[in-house]
Amino acid sequence: MTSRTTRKVTANISLTLDGRYHGASGPGDMGAIVPYAVTDVARDHLARIHEGKTTAVLGRGNALGFVGYWSAVAEDENADPRDRAYAKWLVGAEKVVFSTTLTEGPWERTRVVNGPVADIVRELKASGEGDILVNTAPSILKPLLAADLVDRLHLMICPEITGGGERLFEDGLPATRWTLAHQDAGKQGELALVYDRVR
């Protein structure tokens, strides 16, 4: 059945040159990504990702990690204005958190769901207004890519090779074509890229 809404599914994630979203030591190994998260290119990228979005889709890990950090930034008058704008958007947006263990949302305006990712995101697309942002959540993004449900990809490419860690793009994804909608290059070699799915 075709959706009657025009909601788009967008996603944001940072990757190394070898396509990994964390290093060889596991999910906490963010040493190849964190240094580039505070550059002007990264902050301008952050300012773009939430434009027109009304729903943030998160995994349990990033929902719990984000709640303390971004809630504080939203209240910090000395924070970079781009960071604060994103933080205030995130705090105020509808949030859908995928989890098999949480029984209640870690912050206000949060709904916890436990079910097939593609099915739940299709339901989100079929109702409501504004676009949907899958926010730094590879466990959600991977099944959405596999189901060809992602309409726009916001990628921060960090100029490091980790040689280990999990990759976002795995073998077996459907063949798809994308067009470059925006690009910025930073002084440290970081790239902010926005790709739109060609349908």
> pLDDT tens across 150-172, in order?
999 999 999 999 999 999 999 99
**Cβ-contact 4, 127 below 8 angstroms:** no
**Cβ-contact 31, 172 below 8 angstroms:** no
Residue 158, beta-bridge partner list: 16
Write the CB contacts of 144 (distance below 8 Å, at least 6 apart in sequence).
9, 11, 117, 118, 121, 134, 150
pLDDT at 42: 95
pLDDT at 104: 87
Q: Across all residues in the chain, what is the average pLDDT?
A: 93
The domains of the chain, with CATH numbers, are 9-197 (3.40.430.10)
Residues 57 and 122: their CA atoms lie apart, in Å, by 12
pLDDT at 3: 42
pLDDT at 128: 85
Please state the pTM of the whole predicted model: 0.92
Residue 5 clears pLDDT 70, i.e. is over it? no
Residue 183, beta-bridge partner list: 193
Q: What are phi and psi of 165, to 5 degrees?
A: 105, 175
In the structure encoding, which two tokens stand for residue 188, read together? 């440290």
- Average pLDDT, integer, range 74-92: 95
Strands 53-59 and 94-98: parallel
The three-state DSSP-derived secondary structure of 57-68 is EEEHHHHHHHHH
- Average pLDDT, integer, range 44-50: 94
Residue 9 clears pLDDT 90, i.e. is over it? yes
* pLDDT per position as a tens digit, 86-134: 999 999 999 999 999 998 888 889 999 999 999 999 999 998 899 999 9
Residues 45 and 11: their CA atoms lie apart, in Å, by 12
Residue 1 clears pLDDT 60, i.e. is over it? no
